[in-house]
C-alpha cells in the first residue's frame, strides 16, 4: 500500500476479465454508490486531476455509458454565466426494446476554457493537507492537461436547470469546496459521444438521479 498514490488502480489478474472490464481494487468499498449500483470513482478524487478517460474500461458505467465525474466549475463561474444559452438539442434515446429513437429537448448550455497560466504548464488544485501525493509525476495535485481546452456544460432546459447551473458557478461564494450542501453541485457526466481532444462535454447530474438520499 505504501507504493500506491491516489488514483492508482490494482488489476487482479487472478480474477480474469469480465466482459471488457477487469476486477478493480480501488477497493470495492471505496467506490461511490450515490448515483450508480455498480459504483463510480470515489468522491474524494477530483476528476480534473485525471484524464477524462482515466477510468474508462476500469470502472463500469450503466445506461448511456457516460461516467460520473466531480468537477467544481466555480473558478470559471463568470465565464460560464456570461455564455448561458437556451437551445434545442437532438439526442438518441434507447427504447426498452433495445432500439434507439431521436428526441428533441431543450438544454441550458454554456462553456469555459481551461488554459495553463502564462509561463506555467500546470494549474494547481486546492486540496486538504491530508490528501497525500497527487497523481502527477511530481506528486502535486494539478489539472491534467487532457482537460485543457473548451469544456461545454449543460443542464436541463428548465428554469430549475438554469438555477442549478448558476449555483454550480457560485460554490466558492456559498461556503467553499468542503461544504456538504455543495456536494451535489460538483457532479456531472462526461458525454463521451460528443467529447474529443480539446473539447470535453459534461452534463449536470441532478439530485433526482440519486440512488442514495440519506
3-class secondary structure per residue, 71-121? CCCHHHHHHHHHCCEEEEEEEEEECCCCCEEEEEEEEEEEEEEECCCCCCC
* Structure confidence at residue 64 (pLDDT): 67
Q: Which residues of 178-194 are buried (b: 16+ CB within 10 A; e: fewer)?
A: eeeebebbbbbbbbbee
Q: Which of 38, 34, 48 is nearest to 140 (CA)?
A: 48
Grid-cell match 491530508, residue found:
130
> For residue 60, what is its C-alpha cell?
463500469
Q: What pLDDT, in 10s, does the model give residues 46-101?
A: 999 999 999 887 887 776 689 999 999 999 999 999 999 999 988 776 666 667 77
Q: What pLDDT, in 10s, does the model give residues 115-154?
A: 988 888 899 998 888 888 888 888 899 999 999 999 999 9
pTM score, whole prediction: 0.82
**Is 103 within 8 Å of 93 (Cβ atoms)?**
yes
**Is 205 within 8 Å of 187 (Cβ atoms)?**
yes
* Structure confidence at residue 9 (pLDDT): 78
Q: What pLDDT, in 10s, does the model give residues 168-205?
A: 998 754 444 444 446 788 999 999 989 999 999 999 99
**Is 20 within 8 Å of 59 (Cβ atoms)?**
no
For the chain, the structural domain boundaries read: 13-209
* Structure confidence at residue 29 (pLDDT): 52
* Structure confidence at residue 72 (pLDDT): 92
Helix (H) or strand (E) holding 81: helix 77-82
Rounded-to-integer distance, Cα 186 and Cα 45, Å? 12
- As a whole number, mean pLDDT of residues 154-159 equals 95
Is pLDDT of 214 > 90? Answer: no
> For residue 55, what is its C-alpha cell?
477510468
Distance separating the N- and C-terminal Cα atoms of the chain: 31
Rounded-to-integer distance, Cα 128 and Cα 142, Å? 13
Strands 199-204 and 149-156: what pairing?
A: parallel
> For residue 52, what is its C-alpha cell?
477524462
**Is 72 within 8 Å of 151 (Cβ atoms)?**
no
Amino acid at each position: 500500500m505504501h507504493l500506491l498514490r491516489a488514483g492508482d488502480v490494482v488489476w487482479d489478474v487472478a480474477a480474469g476479465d469480465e466482459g471488457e472490464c477487469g476486477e478493480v481494487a480501488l477497493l470495492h468499498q471505496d467506490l461511490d454508490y450515490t448515483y450508480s449500483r455498480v459504483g463510480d470513482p470515489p468522491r474524494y478524487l477530483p476528476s480534473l486531476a485525471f484524464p477524462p478517460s482515466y477510468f474508462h474500461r476500469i470502472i463500469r458505467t450503466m445506461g448511456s455509458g457516460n461516467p460520473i465525474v466531480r468537477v467544481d466549475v466555480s473558478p470559471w463561474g463568470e465565464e460560464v454565466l456570461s455564455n448561458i444559452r437556451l437551445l434545442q438539442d437532438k439526442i438518441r434515446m434507447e427504447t426498452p426494446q433495445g432500439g434507439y429513437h431521436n428526441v428533441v429537448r431543450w438544454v441550458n448550455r454554456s462553456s469555459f476554457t481551461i488554459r495553463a497560466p502564462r509561463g506555467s504548464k500546470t494549474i494547481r488544485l486546492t486540496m486538504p493537507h491530508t490528501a497525500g501525493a497527487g497523481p502527477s509525476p511530481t506528486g502535486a495535485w494539478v489539472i491534467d492537461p487532457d482537460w485543457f481546452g473548451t469544456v461545454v456544460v449543460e443542464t436541463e432546459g428548465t428554469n430549475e436547470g438554469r438555477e442549478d447551473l448558476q449555483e454550480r458557478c457560485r460554490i466558492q461564494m456559498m461556503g467553499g469546496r468542503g461544504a456538504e450542501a455543495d456536494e451535489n453541485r460538483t457532479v456531472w457526466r462526461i458525454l463521451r459521444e460528443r467529447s474529443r481532444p480539446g473539447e470535453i462535454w459534461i452534463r449536470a447530474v441532478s439530485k433526482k438521479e440519486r440512488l442514495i438520499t440519506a
